[in-house]
Structure 1
Amino acid sequence: MPSRPLLLIAAPDGLHPALARLAAGPQYRTVVVHSGEKVLRALYEYRPDGLVLSLRLPGLDPWEVLSRVRDMSDLPIAVVDLTYRVADAARALEAGADDYLTAELPDRLHLPLLRARLRRAAGTPPGPAPLVEDGLLTLDLGTHEAVLAGHPLDLTPIEFDLLLAFARHPGQVLSADRLLRTVWDVPAGSDASRVKYAVLRLRRKIARATGAPAPIETVRGVGYRYPPAGGSARRPGQD
């Protein structure tokens, strides 16, 4: 039986009750640190499967911690704070956090939502096939390796699952609500900004890797579309 995934919880002394329950629960093994500097040391020492990062963390600025962690790792990151601030949510998601949660949520929702956000730490779920290929894109579900037009893509788990959702529905317009259910495993009507910023990061990474715009179209007011291979969108690597 595989071992339980290891979560690194970075928060001030006196954990919020939801984080305390997460740390004490049976689903994960946890390491708790109380400063930004200790987050970086713990990454090397413990090699965690996921990170819960409080924006109230003392020591090294949490935003700097988020940037450094994302630069060195693709592990799932949930940023948490006491109150919801639109600017902070946008900043966290654009910087590479997989989600932004606050203490303003009803208490009974905290633990289920944290578990849902970090479910990728439990390992790769079984899929219908080890590879998804369309002649342009290849996604390996076992290794989470992605190659587009011969160019390897360095993707986080969320970005990989987002691209997988597009690849499994070529030509279809996928709404933010549908992507929230499919990729983030949260109910429709949740904060759709996480979809916007994840798509933005995915497009940027594809453009950097291939030297061409990403084959992900925005259908204004509806959602996003991945054209079938050979479709109307310009293929990365082609002039």
Structure 2
Amino acid sequence: MKRNILLVEDDTLMREFITDYFKKEQWEVHEAENGRQALEIFEQTIVDLVVLDIMMPEMDGWSVCRRIRQKSDVPIIIITARAEDDDQIMGFELGADEYVTKPFSPKVLVARANALLKRMEGTLGREGDILSFGDLTVNKRAHAVTVGGELVNLSPKEYDLLIFMMKHYGTVLPRDYILNAVWGFDYFGDLRTVDTHIKKLRAKLGSEERLIRTVIRSGYKFELEP
């Protein structure tokens, strides 16, 4: 699956330079040039990582980090021209996961981003090898899916789709976002591919098809009914 990054940097040349490196590593980059724009994009886009400059117009990086942490645990890398210990401590207290001081190599930044996500995914994997919602249980280590104790035979793409939706529990997922994330940006199919696989997945989940909810004119949501 292609990873999505929100890159928040007011320096146009620096932002473009960093973007090029992330794109070379097959990241999808969403760019913001100030804090307010960053929060608008964050509200409208599902991202796997935020790279956040501190000194910006309209709203500084500290404020953006604080606002994001009020509603999300997404990994955050702070970049700044200041190297003081107090700044680093403040960043970590606000919930940042990494701290990078300018000047830095964009290649190293991408490597640190990849390492951070691998580390966090590894932690989540160890803590959540068994996922259960209602009568649906997924053993991620064994790639085994059961409903009411009965094994469900999913195709690899159906399994990827299920895991992706479970990972984004409670979030409305637009069809185009599902298509890009699960099938890849170079896939030439259309949105009916998503609908077809959702239909097949629901049929195989039997009584637990209720977990995959259709959100009219928006997409799909994986969620237990209230």
> How high is the TM-score relative to the length of structure 2?
0.50
Structure showing greater radius of gyration is: 2
TM score, norm. by length of structure 1? 0.47
The structure that is helix-richer by fraction is 2
